[in-house]
A and B are shown apart, each in its own frame.
Chain A
Amino acid sequence: MASLRNQVIIAGVGESDIGKVPHMTGVGLNAQACKRALDDAGLTLKDVDGLLTAYTMTEPYFMLGTVVAEYLGIQPRYCASVAVGGGSPAVMLKHAAEAVLAGHCDTVLVCAGENRATGQTRDSAVAALTIVGHPYFENPYGPLIPGFYAMIARRYMHEYGTTREQMAAVAVNGRNHALRHPNAHMTKPITIDDVLNSKPIAEPLNILDCCLISDAAGAFVVTRADRAPDIANRPAWLLGIGEFHTHEHLIAAPSLTEFGCKQSGETAYGMAGLGPADIDFAQLYDCFTIVPIIEMEELGLCERGEGGDVFARGDTAIEGRLPVNTDGGLLSHAQAGAGGGIFGIVEATRQLRGDQGDRQVKRHDVALVHNEGGILSSNCTMILAREAR
């Protein structure tokens, strides 16, 4: 596999307005995020010759890549829609980097997100989420996405002793960080007890163990590393990236405690020539509170079975040993369809610049971002850095 190390940069990042944004469409939110990402990079739509996006479940569009290009009024030479659920943004970065490295295009605009909060009713949003279930051999039993992750959480608790309190600490960690973010969906503090006493959805997961349903989109610009001197803001350098896909449906998962994060992480570390000890901070995918605990362990950022305690003892706070989800994550910053993971990439790029005020992490040379889609089915890990190395 060709190394992507030091070959491309994230030249700019942007977020749409986040929360309940009823005056904007889903594609409009993407356009807003794209505009902000290009402004951040000091580039314009005329500089874009590649476009990648994911999919939408709120608006009746089929070929969303060309739909977004058409909406923006651009004619890219490279364009596609990627559908690996929450793993899509990181996988799109990898595909964009590969396309740039292969010379297919120079500057790829990547965006994802939807008007999930106001573009559909709450019940239809929940119903839409059931399409992740196997239509023939899971859905007859009335599972739902929180239920799938609840079965993983139950098994993880059984094998490794992870506790409800430790999972609640993941939610509190994210909320504490969101309170310092000017654009986060959630703005009120929560406690461990709030999470433990919130409404049960699928045991052992309560509503505050589950990610948000937001109107939100994010975007970033990928271009050749030799263009870094022309970029308005400090870019983030891609050091390593890897993906791994083990299954789609939970009935076909090889394990309920070991997933493809390990393999995607090993590929990313190998390409970067770095290991877990080199990571200054991490943006992990936190669709449910059990997930970043598993990811942290699989990615080698702590020992197996230790992830829950790492959150509970505060190591993951912005002032902690290994800050995690410094924007609040999907639990407290934003989650909108395939867009959830894109905000981890946006936030990592911003933190690497070092100008995030009271949200800024102290050590900000090397970041890890992990996205996953399905039921920990599609995993993609990337390592970004403040400088080429």
Chain B
Amino acid sequence: MSGELPSPIVNADSQPYWDAARDDRLVLQKCSGCGTVRFFPRYLCTECGSEKVEWVDSAGRGTVHSFTIVHRAAFPEFQERTPYVVALIDLEDGPRMMTNILGDDALDISIGDAVEVCFEARGSDGAKVPQFRRARS
């Protein structure tokens, strides 16, 4: 998937996340107070309320918690790519995030399958979104 698919929308909460994605890095917020790794990026820790945060590199590995194969998309740019997989990934780092599953074997994905991060270009200015594919190793 690439081309006309939507580019990331960057804001003050998420700037480091999307900056890192441009360099093929998945980064997550880690609370400096209690150590909880969280997703999505936000101002404070939902566990302890601390406003102190550091950005850490994710291991980039996880397992499929659930998924769907979309046959009828909401927008034309996605409709061209049907059928495609939307999945929820439980990261080894702790949090859960949403992704597509990319690769020729994507439609065979199952709950519990191991996946690893990859990056997909969006737009023409170097922006990328984190994506996942089956783990190679």
Interface residues of A (CB under 8 A from B): 126-127, 129-130, 134-144, 146-147, 150-152, 154-155, 158, 199-205, 250-252, 256
Contacts and interface: CB of A to CB of B under 8 A. Distances in A.
A144 B86 CA distance: 10
Contact of B99 (A134, A141, A147, A155): A141
B65 to A, nearest CB: 7
Question: Across chains A and B, which 9 residue pairs bring their CB atoms closest together, nearest first?
Answer: A150-B68, A142-B78, A155-B66, A151-B66, A203-B69, A144-B74, A200-B71, A202-B68, A130-B74
A136 B14 contact: yes
Given A136-B14, A251-B98, 4 more contacts: A154-B67, A155-B111, A250-B98, A251-B96
Contact of A136 (B9, B69, B78): B9
B71 to A, nearest CB: 4
Given A136-B40, A158-B111, A141 B100 contact: yes
A374 to B, nearest CB: 15
Nearest to B69: A203
B97 A147 contact: no
B74 A127 contact: yes
B66 A142 contact: no
11 contacts: A137-B97, A140-B129, A142-B70, A142-B81, A143-B86, A144-B72, A147-B68, A151-B66, A154-B67, A202-B68, A256-B66
A381 B108 CA distance: 39
B6 A139 contact: yes
Chain A CB within 10 A, most for which of B39, B68, B122:
B68
Contacts of A130: 74-75
Given A139-B6, A201-B71, A202-B72, A251 B86 contact: no
A202 B88 CA distance: 14
B68 to A, nearest CB: 4
Contacts of A256: 65-66, 88
B74 A154 contact: no
A203 B8 contact: no
B73 A144 contact: yes
A73 B99 CA distance: 49
A143 B73 CA distance: 8
Interface of B: 5-6, 8-9, 11, 14, 39-40, 65-75, 78, 81, 84, 86-88, 96-100, 111, 122, 129
> Of B9, B71, B96, B100, which is in contact with the most chain A CB atoms at under 10 Å from its CB?
B71
A143 B71 contact: no
A141 B131 CA distance: 9
B69 A142 contact: no
Given A151-B88, A251-B40, A251-B97, A140 B122 contact: yes
Contacts of A250: 88, 98
Nearest to B1: A142
A147 B87 CA distance: 9
A379 B78 CA distance: 31
Given A141-B98, A142-B84, A250-B98, A127 B66 contact: no
Nearest to A128: B74
Nearest to B107: A203
B70 A202 contact: yes
A362 B75 CA distance: 46
Contacts of A137: 39-40, 97-98
B11 A136 contact: yes
Given A152-B66, A155-B66, A256-B88, A140 B40 contact: no
Contacts of A134: 40, 98
Contacts of A158: 66, 111
A113 B90 CA distance: 37
Contacts of A136: 8-9, 11, 14, 40
A251 B96 CA distance: 6
B39 A251 contact: yes
